[in-house]
Amino acid sequence: MSGPFVFPVRDIAHRAGEMREFDVEVPAPAKWGEGLVYVAQGEPVQLRVRLESVHEGILVTTEVDTTYRGVCGRCLEDIDRPVEVEFQELFGYPGTEATDFEVQDDHVDLETPVRDSIVLSLPFQPVCQPDCPGLDPVTGEKLAAGTVPETPIDERWAALKALTPDQDDVAARRLASDTEKS
Ligand SMILES: [Zn+2]
């Protein structure tokens, strides 16, 4: 078996203490992510992989760098952003203690942990900029940065506002009561 996410461990398997490192760029084999943003199929994915032979199997430490794209959750403008994650997984030897991943024959296949770590790091509410004001609720146009859409005051709150005395009234009443006391 081979593939861009498959790394050989033949020369380090069952030799605790041995280590191999790989630095590769591979294309994402499929679209990763189902939300507003995703890693597109074919997007270059940088992998810095360290394979360490340990007693139970192969300890895999991987830094992943790629780019996600999609749309801003507020203004729907196209965005693309770098995303970087690091994960560590133990690939156990078959028949030993249960691990999520296993060494297969003479290799480890990192596609699933790479994909999962990237997908988990994608934002649910991506924004084109931290203070993206979104769309004007009336015109549907993108608002200029820094503006806050004017929300009409809720009628229930308007009624409450009528019950709240003006600060002038409060001051006047306090003055009146002070005069009574003296
Ligand atoms: Zn935006």
Rounded distance from Cα 125 to ligand 1 centre (Å): 10
Residues 70 and 90: their CA atoms lie apart, in Å, by 32
Query: Mean pLDDT across the stretch 7-28?
Result: 96
Rounded distance from Cα 157 to ligand 1 centre (Å): 30
Rounded distance from Cα 124 to ligand 1 centre (Å): 14
- Give CA torsion, residues 87, 90, 91, 97, to 10 deg: -150
Query: Mean pLDDT across the stretch 116-127?
Result: 95
Q: Mean pLDDT for the chain?
A: 86
Rounded distance from Cα 131 to ligand 1 centre (Å): 8
- Read off the pLDDT of residues 70-106 as tens digits, 9 standing for 90 and up: 999 999 999 999 999 999 999 999 887 778 899 998 9
Is the pTM higher than 0.85? The answer reads no
Query: Read out DSSP for 87-114?
Result: EEEEEEPTTSS--SEE-BTTEEE-HHHH
The whole-number pLDDT of residue 163 equals 53
- Read off the pLDDT of residues 27-55 as tens digits, 9 standing for 90 and up: 999 999 999 999 999 999 999 999 999 99
Closest CA to 85 of 39, 40, 36, 122: 122
Rounded distance from Cα 134 to ligand 1 centre (Å): 6
Closest CA to 66 of 112, 19, 115, 137: 115
- Tell me: pLDDT of 141 over 80: yes
Q: Which of 52-66, 126-140, 152-166 has the highest mean pLDDT?
A: 52-66
pLDDT band at 149 (very low <50, low <70, confident <90, very high): low
Rounded distance from Cα 83 to ligand 1 centre (Å): 18
Query: Mean pLDDT across the stretch 57-81?
Result: 96
The whole-number pLDDT of residue 155 equals 58
